[in-house]
Amino acid sequence: MRTNRVAFNAEDTREHCAFIAKLCSETGCKEQSDLCGKATEAVLTSEEKYLELCEQSCMKCGESRRTPLRPAPERAAYVA
């Protein structure tokens, strides 16, 4: 990563997106990897499309990390 944000350009972003897509693929997150891969190409043509694809990938990533909802435990009736 470049230390000066001004020097960080679209080509740098493309390289980083490709790296992240590869990491997603290696961990079994196929859909997230595909979205990052599409963002890799979109960054050079449309910033709006690139940001939209990144947002979708992040949302999918967050969804995969959520713990499944468990049913509420049965409560024993209190008898006095």
Q: Are 49 and 42 within 8 A, CB to CB? A: yes
Domain assignment present for 49: yes
pLDDT score of 67: 54
Domain assignment present for 25: yes
Domain assignment of residue 11, given as a range: 5-65
pLDDT in tens, the chain (80 residues): 446 667 778 888 899 889 989 988 898 888 988 998 899 889 889 889 988 988 888 888 776 665 555 565 666 666 66
Domain assignment present for 79: no
Q: Are 28 and 7 within 8 A, CB to CB? A: no
Domains held by the chain: number? 1
Domain assignment present for 71: no
Domain assignment present for 43: yes
Domain assignment present for 39: yes
Q: Is residue 32 packed enough to be buried (19+ CB in 10 Å), middle (13-18) or exposed (0-12)?
A: buried
